[in-house]
Amino acid sequence: MAAIRAMLAAETRAATAASYNVPDPCNHVQTKGDKVRFKITVVGAGNVGATLTQRLAERNYADIVLVDIVEGLPQGKALDLLQAGPILGHDSVVTGSNGYEETAASDVVLITSGVARKPGMSRDDLVMTNAKIVASVARQVAEHSPDAVIVVVSNPLDAMAQVAKAVSGFPRERVIGMAGVLDTARFRTFIAQELDASVVDVAAYVLGGHGDTMVPLTSLTTVAGVPVEQLISKERLDAIVQRARDGGAEIVGLLKTGSAYYAPSAAAAQMTDAILLDTHQVLPCAVYLEGEYGINGLYTGVPARLGAGGLLGVVEVALSDSDREALHRSASSVQQLVDIMDARREDIDASMPPLSAATTAG
């Protein structure tokens, strides 16, 4: 009977991994020593955090702790997700908590907490409020999970990643921002719609900051190997680029009382797959640059290779002069937010080190 149970469990794990196009997690768990499952913490039980927890639980390779300051909220959502396990065929243990003791020794911590955008509100408007929240979370993560990889999802994304790195004291390899995966997905979606093509056939990268200054690389975008600039007129392509830049704001305007969460949670889950399953996949992420692309000391979206331990390396692609200039303008916009936070550093975290020391973009 035990042998049959083991066989059935292996088949379930393999089927689950295959359905998400990721390797069978049991092929990777053996590298974890005596630890048989990964541990993930998701901070923030709002729409993004709860949906992200659901996606990760259904992967069936990790146990998850969902944290939120609202009493009962993470516990209730965690219990609901836990009870979905028998239906969907996963054994992921999902726990809700209002503190961080239960998060101890997490492999990956995803920070989704913060104030959501409202109609007419830019990401920049969120900077001070969310900086305080992210700083508080990063300090707790450093205390309870000092070896974790932090994935920042909170907005304004690039600036919040800067705060998380400074407060946690983690190296750049273990503090990464989720933005480019989402922005690229939006760009690919709109191109596929324009051409009535499959999104699978659209290859693209969106670099730069998460917001109005993002840089879709149209010259490197292809559809089934054909350059997109040969398939779509410049006028239409410019309109698609602008819609991708406004992708989050468009959803906020439609929802009225909320912001996107299905696509952001999918993007964060894809990054988590790459890190925990050590896939070495190249994904556009917000990374603390140390001279790459002529930028130093700032988080900016670039192609990054992810695997065990977080960032394995920055991939530098050849950019046109105009794309490079746009990327530097985007980094300068992040710098402006960093300067705002530096000027009010005491209001965010009294012990937070300076954020903008030796930063350059150009």
pLDDT in tens, 308-324: 999 999 999 999 999 99
Class of domain 180-339: alpha beta
Q: Is the separation of the CB atoms in 151 and 109 below 8 Å?
A: yes
| Tens-place pLDDT, residues 258-282 | 889 999 999 999 999 999 999 999 9
DSSP structure class, residue 110: E
At 128-142, the pLDDT tens digits run 999 999 999 999 999
- SS3 at position 148: coil
**Amino acid residing at 112:** T
Total residue length of the chain: 362
| Mean pLDDT taken over the chain | 89
**Active-site hit among 28, 90, 210, 328:** 210
Residue 104: predicted pLDDT: 98
Before 23, cis peptide (omega within 30)? Answer: no
Q: Which pLDDT tens digit goes with each residue over 22-77?
A: 444 444 343 444 556 999 999 999 999 999 999 999 999 999 999 999 999 999 99
**Phi, psi (deg, nearest 5) at residue 149:** -100, 130
CATH number of 2-177: 3.40.50.720
Q: Which of 161-165, 272-276, 340-344 has the lowest mean pLDDT?
A: 340-344
Quickly state the pLDDT bin for 11 (edges 50, 70, 90).
very low
Residue type for position 279 = T
Share of the chain above pLDDT 70, in %: 86
Residue 295 pLDDT greater than 90, yes or no: yes
Residue-level pLDDT at 338: 94
β-strand 206-207 against 215-216: which pairing, if any? antiparallel
CA distance 109 to 116: 19
- Residue 156's identity, in one-letter code, is P
Q: Report whether 330 contacts 300 (CB < 8 A).
A: yes
* Number of neighbours of residue 317 by Cβ within 10 angstroms: 13
pLDDT-based confidence at 126, cuts 50/70/90? confident
Q: Which residues contact residue 142 at a Cβ distance below 8 angstroms, ignoring those fewer than 6 apart?
A: 167, 168, 169, 170
Local structure of residue 293 (DSSP, 8 states): G
Q: What is the pTM of this model?
A: 0.89
Give catalytic status of residue 90 as yes or no.
no
Q: How far is CA 352 from CA 115, 163, 167, 203, 302, in A?
A: 21, 8, 5, 39, 26
For the chain, the domains span: 2-177, 180-339
Task: State residue 356's pLDDT score.
Answer: 74
Answer whether 2-177 and 180-339 agree in fold: no
Q: Distance (Å, rounded) from C-alpha 300 to C-alpha 362?
A: 13
> What's the rounded mean pLDDT across residues 221-235?
98
Longest dimension (CA), the chain: 65
